[in-house]
Every structure is written in structure tokens, then in C-alpha cells.
Amino acid sequence: MNKEIKRIAVFTSGGDAPGMNAAVRAVVRTAAYYNLHVYGIYGGYEGMINGNIKRLEKGDVANIIQHGGTFLKTARSLEFKTEEGRALAYDSLMAHDIDACVAIGGDGTYTGANVFTQSYDVPFIGLPGTIDNDIYGTDFTIGYDTAINTAVEAMDKIRDTAHSHNRLFFVEVMGRHAGYIALNTGIGTGARYTFLPEVDNPLEHLVQLLQKSSKRNKLFNLVVVAEGNKSGDAMTIAQKMKEEYDIDSKVTIIGHLQRGGSPTAFDRVLSSRLGYSAVKSLMEGKQNVALGLVDNKISFTTFADAISKKKTIDADLIKMSEILSI
């Protein structure tokens, strides 16, 4: 039988993502509505091990929905990967009479939750908090929409100077293993080409496109580069273009700008829906699953599936990007 849930702990782990604060806010206020006690774990799994756990009231999450980052802080924990570390984390939860946890993060966060719940009877609910949008079982992850909007805004500004100087610009965005940010940034800004981790992007193809652009008297071009694509990062690609084809270019790396900033309305609503649903799901007896949004409805995926199954990028969207860039 599922035990009655009276005390819930919530924490953020791994890389921060805009909207995490909104998700924590939703967990706290939904729990308060149903007369449940909520505790914030500060510093992710590391904070769980060290017992950095504090009671949260509704007022503690006031005026945070518009802020990026995470007020609960986040950290990666090597100690939690050990049996001894997880035992200390369990002891900390029991010291505060925690009945269940809401874990907000990405693949590493889910992996930790999956391992922990195999040994300890503490139900976990996972919320997908990562700008990369690479979590299986959800159409969108917390922070993804904000990251795209940040990248698009930066690209629009770079376009101004690229046009003024008739230059080729390589703009690197985050996405070590997934090209969702790069692909949608490329589509949203009308980029000439997009390097993705999921497909081979030979430099010869880009050169051919640039030659066609030159014949049309288009003297400036924007190219989006996902940091983990097979041809190398933006600096490497620019260097190869210079050495192999004698083509000069400029490089801009947007970097961690994509992880910060005020979350978009979409991310605020998504985070709120997921945080609310996390509390409701625990009250209904669900445990050790990751929540997501599929076809605009809340969905449930086991931690094992969310970790092991790969979320594939839409091949037709890639084709569309190529067609529209001609």
C-alpha cells in the first residue's frame, strides 16, 4: 500500500534552467493548499546528503516566478553516486520525516532518483528541468523555450552587424548531445545552415550553399552551431573553413546566457503545471515517475525509460529548415 503523503521535499539538481523557481513555487503552494508540509533541499543531492533542508511556507516562494536560476541552488554530487552517500541522504530525509521528494532536473537528476528509489522507500516524482529539451517522455522541458528566445534575440543582433559588414558568422549555442536549441534557433532566425549533433554536416555542403548565396549577391550569412555536433565547435569549424577553403568568418559563442534570464510565459506556465501535477500525483499514489507534457497533457514516464530511451529530433523539421534556408 502507498503510504500517506504528509511531508514533501523539493529540490533542483544539475544545470539550472529558467522556470525552476516557478516549478518550486507551484509545488509549495499546491502542497500548502492541501495542508501538506513542504521542505526545500538546498544544493541538490549534495544538500540532501548534508541535511541542508528547510521548511518552506507560501511566503518563501513569493515574487520568484519571474526569476531565472534556482533559489534552492543546485550542485552536482559525486558522493550521491556512492552507497554511503545515498545512505546519508536517506538519513537526512528521515530526520525531517520526509515522505516523498520532487526532483527537478535532467538526465543526471533522474538517474540519481532511479538508483535511490531502488534501495529506499521514499517516493520520487521527477520534473524535466533542462534547457536542452532532451528528456524522453515530454515534448518540452523547463527552460527550453526561454533558452531558444535568448538565442534568437542574440542571433537577431548578430545579424545586424553581419549585414553591415557582409560577414559570415558562426554562432554557437548549447546542445552537447541534442540539437533542439540549434535547430529551432536556426529556423527562428532564418539561418543559412545549422550544425546538429544528430546528423552529419559536411563542410563541403556549407561551402556549396555559401557559393550559391554569393551568386545571388547575398554577402552575409548566419550559421548556427550546436556545441556537440560532429564537425566540431564553432571555433573549430571556422578554423577549418579558413584553412581548407580560405573563407574568413567571425565566431560568437552565446554560452551560459541561454541558461539565465527571466523565464518566458510558456516556461512559467509549463513549470507551474508540472509542479502542481507533481503534488497531485504523489497524493494519488503515483511514485518514481517523471512528469512531462505530451500533446499538451500531463504524461508519466518511468525513470528507467526517461533515462534509457532517446528522444529523437523531428526529421521533417530538419528538412524544413534546409528548404526554408535556400
Pairing, β 168-173 against β 221-226: parallel
Choose, from 16, 99, 107, 132, the residue flagged as catalytic.
132
Give the SS3 label for residue 295: coil
Nearest alpha-carbon partner for 54 in 32, 71, 39? 39
Residue 303, number of CB atoms within 10 A of its CB: 25
CA–CA gap between residue 278 and residue 287 (Å, rounded): 10
Whether residue 237 contacts residue 158, with contact meaning beta carbons closer than 8 Å, is answered with no
What nine digits make up the cell of 234? 564553432
132 part of the active site: yes
Residue 222: phi and psi, rounded to 5, are: -110, 130
Give the Cα separation of 193 and 222 in Å (integer): 7
* Catalytic residue list: 132
